[in-house]
Structure 1
Amino acid sequence: MKTRLSAAGAALLALVVAVLAFGQPAHAAAGFSVAGGKLYDANGTEFIMRGVNHAHTWYPQETSSFANVKALGANTVRVVLSSGDRWTRNTNADVANVISTCKANRLICVLEVHDTTGYGEQSGAITLARAVDYWLSLADVLAGQERYVIVNIGNEPYGNQNYASWATDNATAISRLRAGGLTHTIMVDAPNWGQDWSFTMRDNAASVFAADPARNTVFSIHMYGVFDTAAEISDYLGRFRAAGLPIVVGEFGFNHSDGDPDEDTILAYSQANGIGWLGWSWSGNGGGVEYLDMATAFNPASLTSWGQRIFNGANGIRQTAREATVFGGTPPPTTPPPTTPPPAGGCTATYTVTNQWQGGFQGEVKVTAGATAITGWSARWAFANGQSVSQAWNATLTSSGATVTARNVDYNGRLAAGASTSFGFIGGWTGSNARPEVSCTAS
């Protein structure tokens, strides 16, 4: 079913009041935690999911998929599991192997039970209570993995009918999981096949969050045909941000049988506002939605147009993913802030490598105005090691040999005295990737 979103100021006010009523969420010392509407890893570093869904329960032999999505830059994989009610049960040993494979590939693992999909409308779908039974049966496997695993109670737990008990059922499910000893961050899916056109999750999220004694719950919206305009996407996600409630886009596509999602806005809005997302799905789709495969026949060397968009497009995984710090990787080199103030009427620029992989990297340049306001700027540097730039955002870049010139775009040229803006780019490198000195000219 497809329903347009509409304004609901009273609902937003209710969300804000409810969040304020139960105060700042507590941190879970052993693993991921939630505070102020954001997700933090066990080191206290904000973590923003950038990854894909993988249909493991139907393709258990495709364990190389974890390494393949990591090689393409993902920091998270959402793994489809079955409780055994609709498909073959993923055993404790199998789930333990999934977690181990995620960790070996430095991926955060979001585990979900798929058998709940469309409950109340889909024949054979199970209740959230039954999904909780499955999670509790995995307690020995999940224990000690709080730094690496997020538990998604049940996929799309209600269809378009009989979803009125969504809030009560989720609150009860969370309470049971906590009583059973699970201290992981919990993820909760929306009803209406995940798309929440009825606003049931949006309007009841605060009460469900408050029902978690650990205040460690994240909400997940699935964006398909219901979310086919920028206004619908920004309104829905924006209401969670305004209420201080954590939200991720747990599934989305670039096309769907119920309409054409606005994937460009999903990616751009999420990047601008620090919202995590997980595209659907790596490979193996059937039933008429084969176009949602990102890789043809699980082959990472044969990305589809959807796969290219997710991994290599604007605001995609290559540009925006950051590995969780719990894996202990060496952070990319950074540029210290200038020790002297920029000249009056001028500007300074600092260059940072924010992410790097074999043969490629993501860079960022911060431009700061001097003691007086400026109306425009340009930054220039020369690569010393044959690096190249393939795409950029928030600036217009041109290259002449090793020299790169970046000029402001319409919306970020005017800077007040001492104010800053930044732009980013994707580049390539071979051998080494030394940081160049950057000059800045104001106009």
Structure 2
Amino acid sequence: MASTLTYSVPNQWSGGFIGNLLLQGGEGGLDGWTVTFDSGFEITNLWGAEIVSHVGTRYVLRNLSWNAAVPAGGTASIGFQASGSAAVQPQGLSLNGAPMGGGEAMPAISIADAAVAEGDGGTRELVFTVTLDRAATQAVTVDYATGNGTATAGADYTASQGRLTFAAGETSKTIRVAVLGDRAVEADETLLLRLSGPSGATLADAEATGTIRNDDAAPPPPRNDIGDASLAEGDPASGSGGGEASGFLSTRGNQIVDADGNAVKLAGVNWFGLESANFAPHGLWARGYREMMDQMKAEGFNTIRLPFSSELLHTAAVPNGIDFSKNADLQGLTGLQVMDRIIGYAGEIGLRIILDHHRSSAGAGTSGNGLWYEAGYSEAQWIADWKMLAARYAGEAAVVGADLHNEPHAGNWGGGGANDWAAAAERAGNAVLSANPDWLIIVEGVGSHQGDNYWWGGNLMGARNRPVQLSVADKLVYSAHDYPNSIYAQPWFQQPGFEAGLAAKFDQMWGYLYRENIAPVLLGEFGTRLQDPKDLLWLEAITGYLSGDLDLDGDIDIAAGEQGVSWTWWSWNPNSGDTGGILADDWHTVIESKMQWLEPLQFDLGDIPNGGPDGGGGAQPAARTMLFTATLSAAATEAVLVDWATAPGTAGAGDFTAASGTLRFEPGETSKTIAIAIAPDRLAEADETFSVVLSSPRGATAGDMSGTGTILDDDAEPPPPPLEPPVEPPVEPPVEPPREEGGLEGSVSVVNAWGGGFQASVALTNEGRGAVQGWQLRLDTPYEITQIWNAEIVARDAAGYVIRNAAWNGGIAEDATVSFGFLGNGVGALASLDLVL
């Protein structure tokens, strides 16, 4: 006896029913089984079997692991819940391929894919073929409709829908879809044709893909070329000279004033990162620096306090943490050159810059020892670095001041010695003013004075009895830092009603300097995340104080025409662990709840006027721009990209600013310009060349990919300068004790260089026996010394200089070393400096 399969409906209701299939094993039983049938209902739940496939109306079910074996005469049961009418019987029941009755199986409908070339215009037809797997004895119908794939109805083809009818005996029909031709070069596109609602048949394959084949050839890509360029190098612009230059700031009493004597206020934000191991402002991994600075300007800030480290000025490390696709003009620059770009763009958009020596070695926060010097970065180096920066940015009206050192909390205010911060600030401030008399000198407080502790950098109590004295009048600004309870739970925040005493606390520590008209004050750091309720009370008090309500009674206490205390909020960066930033963590969104406190305190400084009396206004010699033109031989229909970079030739790093980037030709564009900054000088020399090289064109072919830039020399060879008389008769050094081999040994090194100038350091070591009392040396160099410190120039001739000790460093003990430094015009290798003792 053969195995059998029977169907029954044990339960039904409106819209659904329970179906049952009973298998009975024949003489040999069953070792695994498969059940197949067509249905006009949908199985929604199944037990005793699993669905192998369900295509159209056809179901294929098979055994589970536990009921695969059905012994001879034994049974297995399959149950299912279905939607639809119980009166609809399954058709074509079969068990392991053997028909089981229940009516003859219905024919199956399938549809095949189709393809056609689109043509250049008009219409063509996609022809889909629909078939029955066998003829039916009565009419069969099925609905159809098109749908979008990568092709779009109305643009690429005409949408279509309808019903096909197979007469009894017919097994093939066609559906035609109109395709719209064009001449666009594009990828092949597809649409879908779907069958549904069969009557008198089941659906075996209900969907076909129609492919519209592109038959338009793309024109050849345009050729990418770049031309040569040339430019006369020009002469450096003269600096701002001495005295007050148009647009620079000074002080009057407790006010900061412009060149016309109008009271102004610095109202800014701190943007840190240059002081870190990134050697670049933070956030450039997320945005372009120009976009970031534009946003600062738009938010109403007029100043950026820009922290940096001593290491930034001396490292060979490459700046990192920069997305150069967003900051193309920073690629290949040093950290100091990145600072140049920040300052340059600040000048373009009307922002001012305060340079802040934040720490010595690169890292986060203030210097670990709380001082302005540390191992590897002496006080002398700190002063020399400030002089170099002052000279570098002389005449640059965007830079308004030098914040000499951030939070020197371990220093003493007065009293003498190596850690006397007031005295060190005078030494550094006067050195800066000797190189650049236009800057404000910003001096922060210490951490503790005579037993009174305050925020690091916030304690200026000592300035009352020991003020800082500078060599240039009206340039001193004191600076404090002040923070709320969330940063550190200072004891004054723990008293009930502490907010009533905050005005007195500000007065005690730093505010008295402003209140008593002693000097202007810059609140260089203050900030909060606005999460501690005590912070809000502090913020209300300190912003009121900054606005001029010095006793916090609700009334402004300063005269009309005067401005309150200047300030720079900490920080713009969201990655400040203590305070967060003006920006949220996405580096784009402004936290408006912070800006609501700051907006009433802001001040419009207006446009930046020219920096110097000659209108030059440049920190370095005003660079000239050489323009290279890159072209496409024909306009492209899609964007064309090509990379570019400068390459030195006989012209080197001191002659032009290295740069790189990517040009983008939009559809229709055939010409783009690359601007390269050329450093002017007064050296008589041969014409020099460098190249701008194109590479990796996308959407174009390579043509002439290298343009030569020629820097045309326009300097005549100067006549030899006359021998200048010595400033005073040379001092013959005293007779030294007899020495063994050795004596004075010297070395000279260039510690920094920029377009048109350099900073050098000379070290003298006594390797003989006995102390040296007074020294004099000859320095052969073709370059002009523009500034010198810790030594005096005795005479100069065509070959170089005669230099002797300053009054305080003539004595050199055995094995001791003294040093001096100088700034020079021009750029040269060490071989061009000849030291003769």
Identify, as 1 or 2, the structure richer in strand. Answer: 2
1:213 aligned to which of 472, 475, 482: 472
Residue 128 and residue 186 in structure 1: after superposition, are their counterparts in 2 closer, same or farther (change >3 A)?
A: farther
> 168-177 vs 55-64, which deviates more?
55-64
User: What is the Cα deviation at residue 298 of structure 1?
Assistant: 5.7
Q: Which residue of structure 1 lines up, in the alignment, with residue 408 of structure 2?
A: 157
When Rg is computed on C-alpha atoms for both structures, the one with the higher figure is 2
SS in 2 for 1:210: coil
User: Is the counterpart of residue 184 in structure 1 residue 439 in structure 2?
Assistant: yes
SS in 1 for 2:523: strand
Residue 205 and residue 246 in structure 1: after superposition, are their counterparts in 2 closer, same or farther (change >3 A)?
A: farther
User: Is the counterpart of residue 95 in structure 1 residue 312 in structure 2?
Assistant: no
1:71 aligned to which of 298, 310, 318: 298
Deviations 1:93-146 (A, max 9, x none): 222212112122211111111115346348968565433222222244311024
Q: Which residue of structure 2 lines up, in the alignment, with residue 240 of structure 1?
A: 513
What residue ranges of structure 1 are gaps of 5+ in the alignment?
A: 1-26, 329-443
SS in 2 for 1:250: strand
Residue 168 and residue 148 in structure 1: after superposition, are their counterparts in 2 closer, same or farther (change >3 A)?
A: closer
Could you tell me whether the CA contact under 8 Å between 1:95 and 1:141 is conserved in 2?
no
1:321 aligned to which of 594, 598, 602: 602
Could you tell me whether the CA contact under 8 Å between 2:267 and 2:301 is conserved in 1?
yes
User: What is the Cα deviation at residue 148 of structure 1?
Assistant: 4.2
1:265 aligned to which of 536, 541, 555: 541
Residue 84 and residue 196 in structure 1: after superposition, are their counterparts in 2 closer, same or farther (change >3 A)?
A: same
Q: Which residue of structure 2 lines up, in the alignment, with residue 285 of structure 1?
A: 575
Residue 256 and residue 204 in structure 1: after superposition, are their counterparts in 2 closer, same or farther (change >3 A)?
A: farther
Q: Which residue of structure 2 lines up, in the alignment, with residue 381 of structure 1?
A: none
1:303 aligned to which of 577, 580, 590: 590
Q: Which residue of structure 1 lines up, in the alignment, with residue 263 of structure 2?
A: 46
Residue 42 and residue 326 in structure 1: after superposition, are their counterparts in 2 closer, same or farther (change >3 A)?
A: farther
Q: Which residue of structure 1 lines up, in the alignment, with residue 461 of structure 2?
A: 202
Q: Percent identity?
A: 22
Residue 114 and residue 199 in structure 1: after superposition, are their counterparts in 2 closer, same or farther (change >3 A)?
A: closer
Q: Which residue of structure 2 lines up, in the alignment, with residue 342 of structure 1?
A: none
Residue 239 and residue 128 in structure 1: after superposition, are their counterparts in 2 closer, same or farther (change >3 A)?
A: farther
Residue 257 and residue 174 in structure 1: after superposition, are their counterparts in 2 closer, same or farther (change >3 A)?
A: farther
1: CA distance between counterparts of 2:508 and 2:447? 18
What residue ranges of structure 2 are gaps of 5+ in the alignment?
A: 1-242, 320-333, 361-365, 485-489, 494-498, 549-557, 559-563, 610-837
1: CA distance between counterparts of 2:541 and 2:392? 38
Deviations 1:6-30 (A, max 9, x none): xxxxxxxxxxxxxxxxxxxxx8444
Residue 162 and residue 214 in structure 1: after superposition, are their counterparts in 2 closer, same or farther (change >3 A)?
A: closer
2: CA distance between counterparts of 1:73 and 1:199? 26
Could you tell me whether the CA contact under 8 Å between 2:458 and 2:482 is conserved in 1?
no
2: CA distance between counterparts of 1:37 and 1:169? 23
RMSD: 3.6
2: CA distance between counterparts of 1:128 and 1:205? 25
Could you tell me whether the CA contact under 8 Å between 1:221 and 1:247 is conserved in 2?
yes
Letter of the structure 2 residue corresponding to residue 268 of structure 1: G
Residue 298 and residue 138 in structure 1: after superposition, are their counterparts in 2 closer, same or farther (change >3 A)?
A: farther
Q: Which residue of structure 2 lines up, in the alignment, with residue 351 of structure 1?
A: none
Q: Which residue of structure 2 lines up, in the alignment, with residue 368 of structure 1?
A: none
2:381 aligned to which of 130, 137, 160: 130
Letter of the structure 2 residue corresponding to residue 276 of structure 1: S
**Please, what TM-score do these two structures have when normalized by structure 1?**
0.57
1:109 aligned to which of 323, 328, 353: 353
SS in 2 for 1:132: helix
Could you tell me whether the CA contact under 8 Å between 2:272 and 2:307 is conserved in 1?
yes
Q: Which residue of structure 2 lines up, in the alignment, with residue 354 of structure 1?
A: none
Residue 43 and residue 310 in structure 1: after superposition, are their counterparts in 2 closer, same or farther (change >3 A)?
A: farther
User: Is the counterpart of residue 222 in structure 1 residue 510 in structure 2?
Assistant: no
Could you tell me whether the CA contact under 8 Å between 2:352 and 2:400 is conserved in 1?
yes
Residue 119 and residue 128 in structure 1: after superposition, are their counterparts in 2 closer, same or farther (change >3 A)?
A: farther
User: What is the Cα deviation at residue 254 of structure 1?
Assistant: 2.2
1:253 aligned to which of 527, 535, 538: 527
Letter of the structure 2 residue corresponding to residue 249 of structure 1: L
Higher RCO (C-alpha under 8 Å, 6+ residues apart): 1
2: CA distance between counterparts of 1:256 and 1:280? 13
Could you tell me whether the CA contact under 8 Å between 1:121 and 1:159 is conserved in 2?
yes
Letter of the structure 1 residue corresponding to residue 427 of structure 2: T
Residue 208 and residue 102 in structure 1: after superposition, are their counterparts in 2 closer, same or farther (change >3 A)?
A: farther
1: CA distance between counterparts of 2:427 and 2:461? 18
Residue 197 and residue 106 in structure 1: after superposition, are their counterparts in 2 closer, same or farther (change >3 A)?
A: closer
